[in-house]
Every structure is written in structure tokens, then in C-alpha cells.
Structure 1
Amino acid sequence: MAAKRREYDEEDVRVRPGRSSRPRTRTRPRHENAVEGFVVAVDRGRYTCVVTDPADPGVPGGGPDERTVTAMRARELGRKSVVVGDRVALVGDTSGVTGALARIVRIAERTSVLRRTADDDETTAEGRLERVVVANADQLVIVSSLADPPPRTGFIDRCLVAAYDADIEPLLCLTKADLAAPDAVLDYYAELDLPYVLVRPDSDPEQVSRLLSGHVSVMVGHSGVGKSTLVNRLVPAAERAVGTVSAIGRGRHTSTSAVALRLPPPEPPSRKRKGDPGWIVDTPGIRSFGLAHVSAESLLHGFPDLVEGTLDCPVNCEHTAGEVDCKLDAWVAAGHADPRRLASYRRLLASRAGEVE
């Protein structure tokens, strides 16, 4: 005789209790008492921030007080990255004493973001890695030596494209001017009216400090061009490591991570330099400045001397050497731009397409 099939009702259903009786909510604390900080260094999940307290009105001639605070990123930030140059809100122990740890709970809206695409050997299955170099900079100082190693205009062109794409003003800093004349490099950029400064071993660092005063300036350059030496002259307390140039003309990497350094006030005080003395963001020496994140249109804006020559190009012209109807060749042939600039622009176009530069 077959067993009678049992019928189940709702009383047989067992409901698993929740892990917590506390209801979930998306409401986040406002942290109204958070203090503002400026990120000056990032190292393995720890963020060094400078917190500035306003000047005490009861102290005649007293300036604002600064302290350095170590912080971690709060979980409520999610996947938002924190980089050097970010202006953040801090809670927790912001005293700055040894062993104290605060939390970064907010990141202020960035006024600019300087990016570069990582080198070819830093690719993933999704493509080349994109790195944020610094946030909130308003000046890009492109450091290039005039000799030992020789200047690389291709690298300078890449940096200019990145600066214009990030809406950051460029400044060309030519070092080792005692070893070679700057005429060839300056002639190459003659149509751009690019601001520049020459640096020699006996140069007064004040001439560079005046150009950096009041700015957040990020310094980029190949290893061995004298960038760290220049930083040490501008900020003696920085003590950035200085390297040498190898026999094949390549510098050895000395700076290993980006760091923001406040420029010291002039001694004696100068009428030409008032207010905030400014910040220098020293970056590790790099051998390439990838631009895969820059659109083809923005790439052209890095070559303002070529823009007018594209006005008569057909719609959707890619401006490559293979474009029969591209008007850039005629523009250069008529003497409106340096042919080396067109060649550099097309090399960058080719590198974006994954071809060998």
C-alpha cells in the first residue's frame, strides 16, 4: 500500500532570522565637526595630511599654525581614491601626535585632475592602467635638461597635452643650462608662446620660486634631469634623494612616490611674493607619460599651432599620415608650423591606436 503523500502548509516553513534586528539605512553621518586637511603624501593606505589652524587674533603678527595628521580612508568613501593634492575632511584624532590616526570622511570637489596612462608593462586585461598623478594642481612644471641627458621634445609634448587636457597651465623648466644653449628647444616651441625658465647651478632659486609662488605646482620630468636637485634648492628641508645619469644617458629613479612640499617664505620678505608661498608636488622620475585616456580631439588641443590647419580638413578626418585629404601637410609646407611638431602629433596618434611610437 503506497504511503500517503504529506501536504505542507505555511506552518512548516522555517523563517531564518536576520543577522541583526537593526534596520539598514543609507543615512551617513554629516561629520559637521570635521577639520579640513590637504593630502601631502600617500603610503600603503596611510595618508599624510596638513591641517592649518587660523591665526590667533590675540597674537600680534602671529600666523596660522600647521600640523601633520596621519589618516586612513573611511569605509563610507567606498571606492573613491584619495591622492596627493586632495582637500579632505578629517574626523577622529586630528591632534597630529605620534601614533594618532584620523579618518578621511569627505573629499572636496577637485578643481583639476592630472592623469597619465601607465607604461606598457603595467597593462591589465582591461587595458592600460590610468593613474591620477595629483589633484587640484594649477601649474605643471615640465623639467627637462638641456644636456646629460639631452632634451626629449616628445616627452615634453606629452606633458603639454596632459596639462591642456587637465586645464593646468604649463611651465617649461630647462635645467643644466650651463652645459648647452636652449635655442633649439625654444625654437621648437616658438609658436606656442610657452613660458619657460632656465636653471644653472649658480642660478638664484628665487627666480623659480617667484613663478611657483601662490600655485600648487606639480613637477614632472625624466630621471636624471635635475628635478630633485631643483626641489632641494627650492625647499632645503625636503632632502629629496639625488641620482646620477647612467652611461646610456638615462637617469636612475630617486623619488619613489609623489609628495607635496610647501615653499618656504622668502628671506628677507619680498614685496613681490605675498600671501601663500605655494606648494610643489614632486613626482617620481618617469620615462613615459601615457595619453590613452586623452581623446583624439583633446590631443590636438595640445598642439595649438596645428589646430587652425585642420579647419579645412574633411569631416571625421583622423589627421594621420595616411589621410589623403588631410590639410595639415599643406599647412606645415606653407610654413605655418614646424614639421617636427606635426610628426610628433602623428606619433602620439599612432601610440594611442596601440602602434609602436
Structure 2
Amino acid sequence: MGRRGIDESDFHSRPSKRGSRPRTKQRPEHSDAVTGLVTGVDRGRYTLLVKDADAGAAGTSGEKIVTAMKARELTRTRVVVGDRVDVVGDVSGGEGSLARIVRIQERTSTLRRTADDTDPYERIVVANADQLVIVTALAQPEPRTGMIDRCVVAAYDAGMSVLLCLTKADLASPDALRELYEPLGVEVVVTRREASSDEADRANVAGQSAGGMVLAPESVEEVRGRLRGLVSVLVGHSGVGKSTLINALVPDAKRATGVVNDVTGRGRHTSTSAVALALPVSPSDGEPSDAFDGWVIDTPGVRSFGLAHVEVSHLLRAFDDLDDVAQECPRGCTHLADAPDCALDDWIKASPEEERPAREARLTSFRRLLSSRTGSDA
């Protein structure tokens, strides 16, 4: 029998070791995805709050906790606390269940920082927050205005409002810091501690700090009033009383608290990761015990807040009056005190005598923030 010719029918493809499915750039639409709020991140696992369709009304009782991981297409995308995400898979919230994050919804704000002023790598702190609460002790440890300035700059760059929370007013007066930051439009709230009693301990155990001191209840309620209806992120050095404040605001938070080192004057890091906590309404409001009005995001204590990502024009836009005047500045004007022909200086000179002190205070404060954008960390 003679040897026949070979044609197409003699070819048999061998499956690839990676599988025989052709690669495609088309992704599923995930039309069945549900929305979740990222409340915690821990080693590649994300804690989400998802509305429970079976529970009916929104609120604490109408939502469930779901654990999720990122889909492969989001491997290089950072998901942070505060993000609203679309999730598919097992969203039952049952023990051992694992959903999958397939999309990140558009962010309304993004708070960023860098390791220092030369580091090109931006670290996203939180997303979708309305307000940055800078927690600063008036003593033990001493306040560092350079760090406060930098946090204010980062907040304004992110389009967030700023609340300066001054703690330990039982040790020092808040007047000097009020005078320094209120001209910038920064709201200031003050808390103080008081000696605990048996009644106070029972009513405010979660807000107890070192040395048997507790936060004065009226101080806690004043802060709560500034947070209601908002998503607020708290930042501050270790040892300033941030975790103590959060425990008083959210009794179920149980955030670890620490003390200040007598030698270094610095606190020990007690919060190790960011976490979003529902802010309960005040007991005096007469609402159900599980009702809440706002979110509080606790973050680990920071020692530096780099601003390499902040552009001067973004900072200037946070000051409407100064931004309008600066439009008359020559091209390339730095707006600093030594800048030649800066229109901001002319604005001061031309101001009515009764308005001049307020304008000078505002411009001085703005230039201080501007200097912190490129200056050394305080």
C-alpha cells in the first residue's frame, strides 16, 4: 500500500498547558452585583457592609457584614476603607463565605499622603470622607503645629472640610491654637478629662484613659455634634487620645489605648489599621439603641504626613478670597512672603483699615500652610 499525501485532516491540535479557552478582553458586566461599603482591610480580605434585602429598612438592622476579596482584574488597584464597591458571589455574610469585589465606584474624595515630600508614591488613606478630624493633644505630647498644617493642606487638597479636635484641655489652654487656625476657616472643638467616679466609670468605661481619667461627657457630646451626618476620618499622633475619644463616641469600638512615653514624649501605636465605625446617636435623642447618624474612620497614629502629591494651585482653591486675588499675580508667582509683585500683598495694602488685621492673619496662615507644602516635617 502506497503512502498517501498529507492534508488538513491529518492535523490534530494539542491543548495548551494553560488551557484551550481563547483569551478575551471582554469582561462580564456583573449586572447582579450589589453595593458594599468597605469598613476594614486586613491582609487581602475586605470587610464590607451590604444592605440586607431581607431586612427591609436601611440602617444597622438592615445591613449585614460580608467578607470579600478583590477580583483578578483589580489586582493592581487599591481598595481602601470608605470605598463603595460592587460585589458578586456569596454575599450571604455566613461563616466561611467569601464574596468578590469587581468594581470600585467613583470616589467623592480621596485623602492621600506620601512618606515624605520627595516620595513619588501616594498612599491613599481613606476614600469618600467628608471631614478630616485632626486630633491633637494640648499637652503630653506637646502639639506639633507643623503636622497640623500638613494635615490641613492634605484635607483641602482632597476637597474635605477640617475639624481640629484639641484634647486634654485639663492640662493646657486651647486659646493659642484657636487663634492660629480659626483664621483659616478651621473649626475647633475641645475635649477635657476629669477624675473618674464610680458613676462615671459605669457610664463611660469605654472612654476611660490612662490614670483613671475619663472624658467629660459634655466634651464627647460636643464632638459628636460636629460629626453627625458626616463621614469623618480621624488622624493624629500616637498618644493624643484619639482611640480614647473614639471609644467614648462608639462604646462598642473597643479600640486599644496607650500611654505617652515619659522620655520621648511620644505615644505608642495602638491602632494598627483603618476601620470605619458607625456613629451612634446620642442616648438623649430618644432614638433606638442601634440607630446611628454618621461614620467615624479611625486610622493608625502617624509620625509624618508627606505632601509631595499636593499642587499649590489646589491649595489656593481652598481659600476663595485669596484665589480670586491671586489671579492678578504674575505668571509663576509662588505667593510666598518673598515673592515679587505678589497681588496678595497689594490686597493687604489696599484693604480698609478695619479689615486689614483679619486679612493679614488669613494671608499669614495661608503662607504658613504653603511653606509646609515644601518645608521639612515638623
Q: Could you tell me the TM-score, scaled by structure 1's length?
A: 0.82
The aligned residue for residue 97 of structure 1 is: 94
Unaligned runs of 5+ in 2: 1-7, 194-215, 350-355
Letter paired with 2:48: C
The aligned residue for residue 298 of structure 2 is: 282
The aligned residue for residue 7 of structure 1 is: none
Q: Counterparts of 1:1-357 in structure 2 under 5 Å? A: 19=16, 20-54=19-53, 56=55, 64-119=61-116, 127-201=119-193, 202-204=216-218, 205-246=220-261, 247-270=263-286, 276-301=292-317, 307=323, 310=326, 312-320=328-336, 322-326=338-342, 335=357, 336-338=359-361, 341=365, 344-351=368-375
Q: Deviations over 1:200-231 (max 9, x none)?
A: 12143222222212211101111111111100
The verdict on how the C-alpha distance between 1:46 and 1:314 changes in structure 2, with shifts beyond 3 A counting, is: same
Distance 1:224 1:62 in 2: 33
Distance 2:285 2:275 in 1: 26
Compute the displacement of 1:141 (Å). 0.9
Comparing 103-112 with 299-308, which one deviates more in the overlay? 299-308
The verdict on how the C-alpha distance between 1:208 and 1:54 changes in structure 2, with shifts beyond 3 A counting, is: farther
Distance 2:181 2:123 in 1: 27
Letter paired with 2:37: F
The verdict on how the C-alpha distance between 1:337 and 1:189 changes in structure 2, with shifts beyond 3 A counting, is: farther
Indicate the RMSD between aligned Cα atoms, in angstroms. 3.3
The aligned residue for residue 3 of structure 1 is: none
State the SS of the aligned residue for 1:79.
coil
Distance 2:156 2:370 in 1: 18
Letter paired with 1:138: D
Larger % of helix: which? 2
Q: Could you tell me the TM-score, scaled by structure 2's length?
A: 0.78
Distance 2:366 2:86 in 1: 46
Distance 2:155 2:286 in 1: 30
The higher-RCO structure (CA 8 Å, 6+ apart) is 2
Aligned length: 335
Contact 2:116 2:308 in 1 (8 A): no
Compute the displacement of 1:232 (Å). 0.6
Compute the displacement of 1:195 (Å). 1.7
